């Protein structure tokens, strides 16, 4: 397994994790496993008081690398239960603040990862794409829960059904981003925010996060499980077969059912 899919740097109480899989930072199973490992370490390391999640390149992440699945049959449920569901739970259950710094596009499962963070800042070119409908699938990685919670059900349905990007200005107005800063300032601002969080009352922040989870996401684990079940249902349908083929052939899908 390559050991540089997630770069890490720790200083002044901040653990910075950088997605590093050119050119689109698309996730495969080894990359998710590395991220799970770093969050596991962050939980038990008292020297880590804040996690900063960021990415190299022109975009944050295109989401799951669909080429990992090849042409064979795969259980999407099994894939989610191994990869994204445990990761999302780790992030929400980590009683330390997680800050995401986002440039360019964030799509699919990567959107779920970003939504699981506590705070998000972005550059003006940041954009958020639900993405699943582009290959005939339904949202997973807690997107079906988190996105409506943050931006509202109607906006989430629009973004999901039309598969249209949410731009940085919309994301800021709707609460999906906490701040938008010039691209050249994103890295410095992210470190400044993370450093301030690390110097704060992290124990109290952790309890606050526990409260937020109880009040707003009490059914997170149940929803993740239900999404995984439904993703297997969606994957068996004609929409996914046509959507995936069109994606690989770089053409518009033709849905007929």
Chain segment 223-233, per-residue pLDDT in tens: 999 999 999 99
Q: What is the residue extent of each domain of the chain?
A: 6-186+197-202
- Please compute the mean of the pLDDT values over residues 128-157 and round it to a whole number: 97
Q: What's the farthest any 2 CA atoms get from each other in the chain?
A: 56
Phi and psi torsions of 154, nearest 5° = -60, -45
SS3 121: strand
Burial (CB count within 10 angstroms: exposed 0-12, middle 13-18, buried 19+), residue 151: buried
Q: How confident is the model at residue 72 (pLDDT cuts 50, 70, 90)?
A: low
Q: What pLDDT is stored for residue 74 in this prediction? A: 82
**Residues facing 14 on adjacent strands:** 11, 50
Q: Which CATH class is domain 6-186+197-202?
A: alpha beta
Neighbours of 165 (CB within 10 A): 18
Q: How many residues does the chain have?
A: 257
| The token pair that represents 163 in the structure block | 């598969």
Q: What is the pTM for the complete model shown?
A: 0.96
- Please compute the mean of the pLDDT values over residues 121-137 and round it to a whole number: 96
| The token pair that represents 19 in the structure block | 């997605």
Phi and psi torsions of 127, nearest 5° = -150, 150
Asked whether the predicted pLDDT for residue 29 surpasses 60, the reply is yes
Mean pLDDT of the chain: 95
Asked whether the predicted pLDDT for residue 39 surpasses 90, the reply is yes
């Amino acid at each position: 397994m390559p050991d540089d899919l997630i770069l890490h740097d720790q200083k002044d109480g901040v653990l910075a994790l950088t997605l590093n899989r050119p050119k689109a930072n698309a996730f495969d199973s080894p990359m998710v496993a590395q991220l799970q490992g770093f969050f596991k370490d962050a939980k038990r390391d008292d020297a880590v008081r804040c996690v900063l999640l960021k990415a190299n390149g022109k975009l944050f992440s295109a989401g799951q690398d669909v080429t990992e699945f090849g042409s064979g049959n795969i259980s999407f449920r099994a894939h989610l239960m191994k990869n994204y569901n445990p990761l999302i739970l780790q992030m929400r259950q980590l009683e330390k603040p997680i800050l995401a710094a986002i440039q360019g596009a964030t799509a699919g499962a990567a959107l779920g990862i970003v939504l699981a963070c506590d705070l998000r800042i972005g550059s003006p070119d940041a954009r958020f794409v639900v993405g699943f409908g582009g290959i005939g699938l339904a949202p997973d990685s807690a997107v079906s829960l988190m996105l409506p919670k943050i931006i509202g059900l109607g906006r989430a349905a629009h973004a999901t059904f039309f598969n249209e990007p949410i731009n940085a200005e919309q994301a800021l107005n709707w609460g999906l981003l906490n701040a938008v800063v010039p691209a050249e300032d994103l890295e410095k601002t992210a470190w400044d925010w993370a450093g301030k969080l690390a110097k704060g009352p992290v124990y109290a922040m952790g309890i606050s996060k526990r409260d937020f989870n109880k009040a707003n996401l009490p059914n997170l684990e149940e929803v993740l499980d239900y999404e995984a079940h439904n993703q297997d249902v969606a994957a068996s349908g004609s929409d996914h077969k046509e959507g995936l083929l069109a994606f690989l052939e770089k053409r518009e899908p033709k849905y007929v059912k």
